[in-house]
Structures are given as structure tokens and as C-alpha cells.
């Protein structure tokens, strides 16, 4: 077994006195309680090099050690697809994804995705769930995305997403003139009538987006949007909910502006993470892609209708 599947989690003061299985369920939401309890029974999770029961109370500062079996390699083909690598070391890869590139294979799309490209670029990702991809961007959203190269890094990055330690900022070009600053705090769930769409729903999952106007461009506005959560289509849904749909977004009310841009005008501009191995704070930025930059320049010189 490789070191990628041997790692430790330190118990925080907030977890003092919790049952071990409950503390781990909080920290590792991607694993079911049944899976965690199975590893405990098999002796794959230890404290102080000793097996421990699921019901054992944990104490701040304790190191919970994992010695896990690597998952079966994903049945995804490696493909030689160019990638824009922003940063890479033995723990992380940060990619500037172009619009039009799907992140994961899915129904009717087994090839030509970011995951296929990653497996060609870094074959060591094969044993990791989703080849180390810990968050996603919509097909027609461009910008920054982080990939873990080890299981310990993958779990750490998922934890940073959950606790909002990972910072994600986007640029969005919207129709209309929203306030100079604002936020949307509205739950998002699957649309009951259109299953491929999301919508603001009372029974949805909590979602908050903060925005600030960067530039007024006639009938349009260029925004910076910061996520507090990562729901599917969150920015697109939230801005449409306020009455300011994204330029080019046919799904959420921006279809009349497809003559300006043939995709939603959304770019993941800035990403901040804590390096899972070194603890260093890392900040990455991706410049506005040409299609979006050209539209912004054109609008500065006179808004088309």
C-alpha cells in the first residue's frame, strides 16, 4: 500500500468528547457512517497505534491514524488533451479550465473530459476517487479548479471546502444594474418541473453568494462574486433570482444575449487554499479568457442591445 492512503487527522477542541465515529463523520462527510465503522472494526483506524472502538470518546490534540485500502481505479480512459497548468507539485495540481470542457465523464460523454486529460497528465491519480478532483465547474464556466494528488490531500481539501477555508471568487457579466454590493442567502434545490435545472427552494440546501460590482457597462454589469457554499449552478441561480441573469445563460434567463457570448459569462478568477502538506496559504488567479475579455472591451465602447 502506498503512503497516499496513510494519513492522520488531528482532533480539534470543538470535537472534544464526541464519539469517534461521530467526529469522523463530521470531518469526512464523503464517507458513510457504515464505511467508517467498517474501517474501525478492521483496525484500519487507530489512535496511538492501537485499535479503537467507534464509541470511544475523542480528545483535542489526538491524532487519528488511517491506513486505508486504495479504491479501485476509475474506469476512465487517459486521453492526451492539453491542460493549462497553473501550479503543480507532488500534492496538488491547479488548472485553468477552458469553457466547453466537461469535468467528469457522464451519461453520453465518456471521453474528452478534464478527468480523461488528468489521467494522461498524471497517471498516479488513477486510484483516487474522481481522479483527485474535489470540486467542479460547469462545462461552460471557465477558470480555476484544484486537484489532489494524494488521498490525504483530497480529504484535506474536501475539509477546506466544507469549512469554507477554501476561497473561490468568480467574475460574472450580468444583464442589468444590481446594487454596488450585496448578497443572496437563498437555499437551492433541484427544480421540480425541469430536472436539469436548479432553483431557489424553501426545502433546498443553504447557499450564500456575495457580490460586488466591478464595472458598469451600459445595460450590463461586471461582478465579482464570492461563494460561501458550492451548490450546483449557484451563481447562475442566485443572480437570476435577483433579476440579473448572466449574459449568455440560456438555462436561467440570459438566452436573449447569446449574440454576445455563446456560453454563460462566468469565470472562476481566484482560488485560495491551504497547502495540505506544508500548511502554506496559496492564492491563484486566472486572467479573464479571451471570449469574456473581448465582450467586456466591446461593452466599454458602447453597449449593444
Which pLDDT does position 1 carry in this prediction? 34
Which pLDDT does position 162 carry in this prediction? 82
What CATH code is carried by the domain that includes residue 215?
3.30.2350.10
Q: Which of 67, 95, 118 is the last residue of a domain?
A: 67
Decide: 162 and 228 in contact? Cβ < 8 Å: no
Residue 257 gets which letter from DSSP? G
Which pLDDT does position 107 carry in this prediction? 64
Q: Is residue 263, in this structure, part of any structural domain at all? A: yes
Instruction: Examine the domain organization and report whether 60 and 175 are in the same domain.
Output: no
Q: Is residue 136, in this structure, part of any structural domain at all? A: no
Ordered DSSP codes for 70-87? PPPPPS---------EEE
> Residue 289's closest CA among 260, 305, 268?
268
Contacts of 82 (CB under 8 A, 6+ apart): 117
Instruction: Examine the domain organization and report whether 296 and 172 are in the same domain.
Output: yes
Q: Is residue 174, in this structure, part of any structural domain at all? A: yes
Give mean pLDDT in consecutive 10-residue pieces for the chain, a chain of 305 residues: 62 90 84 81 80 89 80 75 96 97 80 93 90 92 96 90 91 98 93 83 90 97 94 95 97 93 97 95 98 96 70
Distance CA 4, CA 1 (A): 8
What CATH code is carried by the domain that includes residue 57?
3.10.290.10
pTM here is 0.77
Q: Is residue 163, in this structure, part of any structural domain at all? A: no
> Grid coordinates standing for 141?
464556466
Query: Domain of 48?
Result: 3-67
Which pLDDT does position 186 carry in this prediction? 95
Q: Which of 17, 52, 67 is the last residue of a domain?
A: 67
Decide: 145 and 103 in contact? Cβ < 8 Å: yes
Q: Is residue 229, in this structure, part of any structural domain at all? A: yes
Helix (H, G, I), strand (E, B) or coil at 224: strand
**Per-residue three-class SS string for 171-214:** EEEEECCCCCEEEEECCEEECCCCCCCEEECCCCECCEEEEEEE
Q: Is residue 63, in this structure, part of any structural domain at all? A: yes
Residues 67, 89, 90, 138: which is the catalytic one? 138
Other CB atoms within a 10 A radius of the CB of residue 121 amount to 19
Number of domains in the chain: 2
> Grid coordinates standing for 13?
477542541
Which pLDDT does position 74 carry in this prediction? 57
Is 89 labeled as catalytic in the residue annotation? Answer: no
Q: Is residue 236, in this structure, part of any structural domain at all? A: yes
Return phi, psi of residue 272, to 5°: -125, 130
Q: Is residue 285, in this structure, part of any structural domain at all? A: no
Query: What are 148's strand-pairing partners?
Result: 92
Q: Which of 49, 67, 85 is the last residue of a domain?
A: 67
Which pLDDT does position 4 carry in this prediction? 46
Which pLDDT does position 3 carry in this prediction? 42
Amino acid at each position: 500500500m502506498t503512503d497516499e492512503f496513510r494519513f492522520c487527522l488531528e482532533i480539534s477542541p470543538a470535537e472534544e468528547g464526541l464519539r469517534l465515529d461521530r467526529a469522523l463523520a463530521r470531518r469526512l462527510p464523503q464517507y458513510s457512517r457504515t464505511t467508517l465503522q467498517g474501517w474501525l472494526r478492521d483496525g484500519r483506524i487507530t489512535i496511538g497505534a492501537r485499535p479503537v472502538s467507534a464509541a470511544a470518546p475523542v480528545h483535542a490534540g489526538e491524532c487519528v491514524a488511517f491506513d486505508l485500502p486504495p479504491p479501485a481505479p476509475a474506469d476512465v480512459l487517459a486521453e492526451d488533451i492539453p491542460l493549462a497548468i497553473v501550479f503543480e507539485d507532488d500534492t496538488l495540481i491547479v488548472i485553468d479550465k477552458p469553457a466547453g470542457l466537461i469535468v467528469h465523464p457522464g451519461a453520453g460523454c465518456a471521453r474528452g473530459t478534464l478527468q480523461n486529460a488528468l489521467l494522461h497528465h498524471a497517471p498516479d491519480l488513477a486510484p483516487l476517487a474522481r481522479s483527485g478532483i474535489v470540486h467542479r465547474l460547469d462545462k461552460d464556466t471557465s477558470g480555476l479548479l484544484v486537484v489532489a494528488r494524494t488521498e490525504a490531500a483530497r480529504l484535506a481539501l474536501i475539509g477546506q471546502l466544507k469549512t469554507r477555508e477554501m476561497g473561490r471568487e468568480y467574475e460574472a457579466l450580468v444583464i442589468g444594474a444590481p446594487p454596488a454590493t450585496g448578497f443572496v442567502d437563498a437555499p437551492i434545490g433541484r427544480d421540480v418541473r425541469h430536472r436539469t435545472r436548479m432553483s431557489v427552494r424553501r426545502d433546498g440546501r443553504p447557499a450564500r453568494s456575495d457580490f460586488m460590482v466591478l464595472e458598469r457597462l451600459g445595460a450590463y454589469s461586471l461582478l465579482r462574486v464570492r461563494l460561501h457554499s458550492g451548490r450546483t449552478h449557484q451563481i447562475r441561480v442566485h443572480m437570476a433570482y435577483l433579476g440579473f441573469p448572466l449574459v449568455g445563460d440560456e438555462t436561467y434567463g440570459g438566452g436573449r444575449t447569446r449574440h454576445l457570448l455563446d456560453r454563460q459569462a462566468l469565470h472562476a478568477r481566484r482560488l485560495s487554499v491551504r497547502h495540505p502538506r506544508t500548511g502554506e496559504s496559496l492564492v491563484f488567479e486566472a486572467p479573464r479568457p479571451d471570449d469574456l475579455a473581448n465582450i467586456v472591451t466591446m461593452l466599454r465602447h458602447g453597449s449593444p442591445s
